[in-house]
Amino acid sequence: MSRIGKKPVELPSGVTASVSGQTIEVKGPKGARTFTATDDVTLTVEDNIVKVEPRGKSKRARQQWGMSRTQVANLVAGVTQGFKKELEIQGVGYRAQMQGNVLKLNLGYSHDVDFVAPDGITITAPKQTEIVVEGIDQQQVGEVAAKIRDWRRPEPYKGKGIRYKGEFIFRKEGKKK
């Protein structure tokens, strides 16, 4: 039995869900999102509650049960609160700024890095050393934050680079004379 799958997903006020076949569409104040479940689970909506039930007792059905319930819960969280990733920039001369829909990064390269924000994602730079990525799709927010971080990952000797807020970087000691 899936402990996660057994819990129903409650829909807060202002959020509606509709099921057609294996696809569930959730609409809320921030937008609408859809998820298509596999044939191993059944999705039902009753009285502002979404239930996910397995079809059968196979291992795959039990795996999909918990995963599908989590995906539906993430849809509901995305259309109500949204998702957010915060990045910090450390290093002398490293900075970020927004110009319209383009994030301009100075990361010690001979050129500036221009990162265009994809549709559905909002990127802001409240300070020159902070970047905030927001959106209603958790996977897309994480992917955009990871792509920005990949331009200059934090290095272990001085700690320079782009890191997630609160991320611990294991520091190494340099050479000894």
pLDDT per residue rounded down to tens, the chain (177 residues) = 678 889 999 999 999 999 999 999 999 999 999 999 999 999 999 989 999 999 999 999 988 999 999 999 999 999 999 999 999 999 999 999 999 999 999 999 999 999 999 999 999 999 999 999 999 999 999 999 999 999 999 999 998 999 999 999 999 998 888
Q: What does the DSSP assignment read for 58-107? A: -HHHHHHHHHHHHHHHHHHHHHHT-EEEEEEEESTT-EEEEETTEEEEE-
Q: Which domains does the chain have, with CATH numbers?
A: 3-80 (3.90.930.12), 83-164 (3.90.930.12)
What pTM was computed for the model?
Answer: 0.87
What is the edge-to-edge ordering of all strands in the sheet holding 31-36? 16-20, 23-28, 31-36
| Cα(83)–Cα(167) distance, integer angstroms | 18
Give burial (CB, 10 Å; 0-12/13-18/19+) of 92. exposed
